Amino acid sequence: MTDEHDGMIMQSKNPVGFVGYGAYIPRYRLPAKEVSRIWKGGAEGTPIDEKAVAGLDEDVITMSIEAARNALARAKINPAGIRAVWVGSESHPYSVKPTSTVVAEAIGATPHTLAADWEFACKAGTEAVQAAIGFTGSGMARYALAIGMDTAQGRPGDALEYTAGAGGAAYILGPADESLAVVEGSYSYTTDTPDFWRRANEKYPSHGERFTGEPAYFHHITSSAQELMETLGTKPADYTFAVFHQPNTKFPQRVAKTLGFTPEQWETGLLVPRIGNVYAGSALVGLTAILDIAKPGDRILLVSYGSGAGSDAMSLHVTERMLENHELAPRTEDYINRRTEIDYATYARFRGKLSQ
């Protein structure tokens, strides 16, 4: 790192990267027009086509285990060597009792490991990745597992109900020379911006409507992406792919365009029209779709957004090792194509929306 780059971005002492990655998306799909049919007589335009819905026996724990196993399959490492299991979500099944201990146990990472749950709205997953970069990059651990996974809540009839979906991804951080994609640098931009929140013991979140746009999503994403690219000396044209937090179809495309990216760069990672907003898993699962087709030498920009508010930006560089790994676990497209459509009534049952 030269002096003029001694700015705000973060680069670990020892180069690290993604040794393995894995996605998970549940099979059920609720078409947005179903939500519109029930609440708006079918008259309201819909922000996405359909969203992924977790089944009756699924939650953030089971889904995290699925994604972690896919990441392990690609990493081809002994899970006992994973020294941290960190799960970011806003749908942890327990308030007290970690998701991550169950995940760690299930994949065979216990007992010589840290385990903790992360909370930062939709960027809890990338926050865990940032911490894992530091943990492995400092030499304290060889491998660390970071997961972003959600079964997001949307109050029945609220605008968020169209998009609040389920899914996410797991990433194993480790030494750069074992990585499929090396982390070139990362950055985190945080302010106290109350755009979206859920107080303790409340079932559904509240939001500040249009306040969630300009001063929240757009300001934070552009700030973090620009700072990272400026300090790294990269520009949009240097990236083969870019993926952003995707709460709906419009926002990520608009912010990508504002930053100077083109549809060819963002389309691969833009999964929201087909799976919805999977919150803490949103940008991270978009990245898995990119990694599934990425070639050595490709550069990828990942930018998350979490309400409250903050944004993590990461610049990744795909290595030769990627080629041998694509087929070792289900691709994200496989999960998206594994699709069972449900109606609103089934959705209401699956998601515990009925109370008597």
Partner 1 sequence: MMATKINKIMNDVFIIGVGMTPVGEHWDRSLRELALEAMTAARDEAGAMHPEAVYVANMLAPALSRQSHLGALLADFSGMRGIEAVAIEAAGASGGMALRQAYLALASGMVNTALIVGVEKITERVTAEVEAALISSSDADYESIHGLTQTALAAMVMQRYAFEYNVPEYAFAGFSINAHANGAKNPNAMFRRPINLETYQRATILSDPINMFDAAPLADGAAAIFLARGDVLPSNLPFPPVRINASAAAISTVAVHDRPNPIFFSAAENAVKVALDRADINIEQINFFEVHDRYTIFSALSLEAAGFAAPGEGWKLAESGAITLDGQIPICTFGGSKARGDTGGATGVYQAAEAALQLQGRAGEIQVADARTGLIQSIGGTGATVATHILSTVETL
CB 46 within 8 A of CB 161: no
50-53 sheet: strands from edge to edge: 50-53, 28-31, 340-341
Among the listed residues 76, 112, 210, 338, the single contact to partner 1 using CB under 8 A:
210
| CA 337 – CA 164 distance, rounded (Å) | 19
C-alpha closest to that of 11 among 138, 124, 123: 138
Q: Does residue 208 touch partner 1 according to CB under 8 A? A: yes
CB 209, min distance to partner 1, A: 5
CB 342, min distance to partner 1, A: 28
What Rg do the C-alpha atoms of the chain give, in angstroms?
Answer: 19
Which candidate in 34, 50, 66, 90 is catalytic? 90
| CA 175 – CA 31 distance, rounded (Å) | 42
Q: Is 90 a residue of the active site?
A: yes
Q: Does residue 250 touch partner 1 according to CB under 8 A? A: no
Residue with smaller CB distance to partner 1, 55 or 156: 156
Contact range with partner 1 by CB under 8 A, out of 144-152, 201-209, 286-294, 299-307:
201-209
Q: Does residue 192 touch partner 1 according to CB under 8 A? A: no
Q: Is 4 a residue of the active site?
A: no
| CA 24 – CA 68 distance, rounded (Å) | 9
CB 213, min distance to partner 1, A: 9
Residue with smaller CB distance to partner 1, 123 or 207: 207
Among the listed residues 214, 354, 355, 356, the single contact to partner 1 using CB under 8 A:
214
Q: Which two tokens stand for residue 202?
A: 């409340």
CB 195, min distance to partner 1, A: 10
Strand 308-318, strand 299-303: pairing: antiparallel
Strand 241-244, strand 166-175: pairing: unpaired
Q: Is 105 a residue of the active site?
A: no
Q: Which two tokens stand for residue 179?
A: 């990585």
Residue whose tokens read 């977790």: 54
CB 246 within 8 A of CB 283: yes
CB 216, min distance to partner 1, A: 9
Q: Does residue 338 touch partner 1 according to CB under 8 A? A: no
Q: Does residue 273 touch partner 1 according to CB under 8 A? A: no
| CA 243 – CA 286 distance, rounded (Å) | 6
Binding mask 50-89 for partner 1 (x = CB under 8 A): ----------------------------------------
Residues that bind partner 1 (CB under 8 A): 43, 45, 207-211, 214-215
Q: Indicate which residues carry an active-site annotation.
A: 90, 122, 245
